[in-house]
Amino acid sequence: MTSPPAPARSPRASPLSWAPAYALGALDADELREFEALLAVSPRIRTEVETFAAVTAALALLALPVSPGATLKQAVMTSL
């Protein structure tokens, strides 16, 4: 029986699999340090990060604005 694939951010996972989490700012401090060391020496990883960063920026532009409900808005305004 073969073992299941490693989770995307496990130490056994490919460094390329961390690129989306890096682009989203979702790596913890240890992962960030390790990934940035690889990023400094790997053109392939830099290219992956650039691609995911562009996608992340585009996704932000696709989000529709949402107006808070009257109750939430009033609660926030009151707390100020």
Statement: the pTM of the whole predicted model exceeds 0.85? no
In this prediction, residue 26 carries a pLDDT of 92
In this prediction, residue 2 carries a pLDDT of 54
In this prediction, residue 74 carries a pLDDT of 86
Q: Where are the alpha helices (DSSP H) in 1-80?
A: 19-23, 29-41, 43-62, 70-79
User: In whole angstroms, what is the distance from residue 31 CA to residue 21 CA?
Assistant: 10
Tokens of 45: 């990883």
Rounded mean pLDDT for each run of 10 residues along the chain, 80 residues in total: 50 78 92 93 94 89 84 88
Question: Where does 16-79 sit in CATH, by number?
Answer: 1.10.10.1320
* Number of helices followed by number of strands (H, E) in the chain: 4, 0
